[in-house]
Copies of this chain bind each other. A is one copy, B any other.
Amino acid sequence: MLDNEKLLQRGLEQLDIVDGEHGRSVADTLAGIAPDLGQYLIILFGEIYSRPQLDLKQRELVTLTALAAQGGCEKQLRVHVNAALNVGLARDEIIETFVHCIPYLGFPKVLNAVFVAKEVFEQRK
């Protein structure tokens, strides 16, 4: 199994930096129903986000776009709008990421993503 202690530990550390409280809560929710899924998530997250080729701000730009483009990922977008703020992206960089997608994705997916960002921004005051 992939879930040896060291990989999990690194994943959790990375998750704490990027997601704050939200990351571990996803894994906790999975504990009762699909614990392996939670561990894969943590391990893959730790692996990918600690690679040196892109920094955390760039990674969150990419994540926000991948989630907005798929549609139907409002829950995950909420986590990653928070994560984007945690790693230092400004609010208008987050909004601009979605605005930039208008010509590529059309308005409906962009609007859905912006409304998620609006909610998160309001919750964080």
Render A13-56 as a binary contact track against B, CB cut-off 8 A, 1 for contact: 00000000000001001101110110011011101100101100
In the bound complex, do residue A48 and residue B109 qualify as a contact, i.e. CB atoms below 8 Å apart?
A: no
Distance (whole angstroms) from the CB of A32 to the closest CB of chain B: 8
The reply on A117 being an interface residue by CB < 8 A is yes
Which residues of chain B are near A40, meaning CB under 8 Å? 47, 99, 102
The answer to whether A67 and B100 have CB atoms under 8 Å apart is: no
Whole-angstrom distance between the alpha carbons of A20 and B81 in the complex? 32
Are A106 and B102 neighbours in the complex by a CB distance under 8 Å? yes
Contact of A41 among B68, B97, B107 (CB under 8 A): B107
Minimum CB–CB distance for A31 against chain B, Å? 11
Cβ of B97 and Cβ of A34 under 8 Å apart?
A: no
